[in-house]
Amino acid sequence: MTEPITFFQELKRRNVIRVGAAYAVVAWLLIEVSDTIFPRLGLPEWTVTFVIMLLLLGLPIALFLAWAYELTPDGLRRDSEVVTQQKATTGSRRRMDRFIVAGLVLVIALMAGERIWFAGESAPSPSAAPGEVSIGVLAFANMSEDPGNEHFADGISEEILNILAAVEGIRVASRTSAFSFNGQGAGIPEIARALNVSHVLEGSVRRQGGRVRITAQLIGANTDGHLWSQAYDRDLTDIFQVQEEIARAITGALEDVLGMRRVVVEASTENLEVYDRFLRGRALFHNRTELDRAIADLHWAVEQEPGFGEAWTYLAAAYSVVTGGYPTELSMRAARDGAADAIGHASRLAPEDPLVLAIRGTMGSDAGDFVGSMDLLRRAAGMRTSDSTPLFWYGLHLLTAGYLTESLEVLERAAAMDPMSGVVQGWIAQAHMALGNMAEAETHSRHAVDRGWDAAALFIALELNRRGELERVADWWPDWTTTVRGSDLEWEGFDGESVEDILERAIAVARDGDFRSYSLRGAWYRSSPGLREHPKFFELARQVGLVELWETRGYPPGCTRLVLAGGERLDCPGMRLPLP
Residues 81 and 164 both lie in one domain: no
- 284-298 confidence digits (pLDDT tens): 888 877 899 999 999
CA–CA gap between residue 101 and residue 534 (Å, rounded): 93
- 534-571 confidence digits (pLDDT tens): 999 999 999 999 999 999 999 999 999 999 887 899 99
More confident residue, 313 or 386: 313
* 506 found inside a domain: no
Domain end among 258, 273, 299: 258
Residues 59 and 172 both lie in one domain: no
Measured on CA atoms in the order 305, 311, 317, 319, is the torsion positive or negative? Answer: negative
b/e map of 389-419 (b: 16 or more CB within 10 Å)? bbbbbbbbbbbbbbbbebbbebbebbbebbb
The number of angstroms, rounded, from the C-alpha of 516 to the middle of its chain's C-alpha atoms is 30
- 508-542 confidence digits (pLDDT tens): 888 877 777 777 888 898 888 888 899 999 999 99
* 456 found inside a domain: no
Residues 18 and 106 both lie in one domain: yes
The total number of structural domains that make up the chain: 2
More confident residue, 497 or 579: 497
Residues 33-48: what's their mean pLDDT?
Answer: 60
* 398 found inside a domain: no
Residues 106 and 143 both lie in one domain: no
CA–CA gap between residue 328 and residue 308 (Å, rounded): 25
Residues 106 and 164 both lie in one domain: no
Residues 142 and 110 both lie in one domain: no
The pTM (predicted TM-score) of the whole model is 0.72
Which H helix or E strand runs over 245? helix 239-253
* 52 found inside a domain: yes
Residues 188 and 231 both lie in one domain: yes
- Angle of helix 354-366 versus helix 389-400 axis, rounded to 10: 20
* 349 found inside a domain: no
Residue 125 gets which letter from DSSP?
Answer: P
Residues 110 and 16 both lie in one domain: yes
pLDDT above 90 as % of the chain:
28
Instruction: Report pLDDT for 486.
Output: 36
Residue 138 gets which letter from DSSP?
Answer: P
Residues 145 and 230 both lie in one domain: yes
More confident residue, 529 or 311: 311
Q: How many CA atoms lie within 13 A of 470 on its CB side?
A: 3
More confident residue, 357 or 181: 357
More confident residue, 372 or 63: 372
- 163-201 confidence digits (pLDDT tens): 888 888 888 888 888 888 887 778 888 888 888 888 898
Give the residue from 572, 230, 231, 159 showing the smallest Cα distance to 403. 572
Whether residue 41 contacts residue 225, with contact meaning beta carbons closer than 8 Å, is answered with yes
Residues 148 and 73 both lie in one domain: no
* 333 found inside a domain: no
Domain end among 258, 284, 316: 258
Q: Dihedral, CA atoms, 292, 295, 300, 306, nearest 10 degrees?
A: -160
Instruction: Report pLDDT for 174.
Output: 87
Instruction: Report pLDDT for 182.
Output: 83
Domain end among 258, 279, 296: 258
CA–CA gap between residue 435 and residue 412 (Å, rounded): 14
Instruction: Report pLDDT for 36.
Output: 62
CA–CA gap between residue 409 and residue 149 (Å, rounded): 39
Residues 140 and 167 both lie in one domain: yes
* 537 found inside a domain: no
Instruction: Report pLDDT for 478.
Output: 83
CATH code of the domain covering residue 186? 3.40.50.10070
Q: Is the pLDDT assigned to residue 426 strictly greater than 80?
A: yes
Residue 159 gets which letter from DSSP?
Answer: H
Range(s) of the domain holding residue 217: 133-258
pLDDT band for position 271 (50/70/90)? confident
Q: Is the pLDDT assigned to residue 206 strictly greater than 70?
A: yes
CA–CA gap between residue 155 and residue 158 (Å, rounded): 5
Residues 48 and 98 both lie in one domain: yes
- 91-141 confidence digits (pLDDT tens): 555 565 565 556 556 656 655 555 444 433 333 333 444 446 888 999 888
Residue 79 amino acid letter: D
* 505 found inside a domain: no
Q: Is the pLDDT assigned to residue 386 strictly greater than 70?
A: yes
Instruction: Report pLDDT for 128.
Output: 42
Residues whose CB is less than 8 angstroms from the CB of residue 410 and which lie 6 or more positions away in sequence, other chains included = 381, 391, 394, 395, 398
More confident residue, 554 or 4: 554
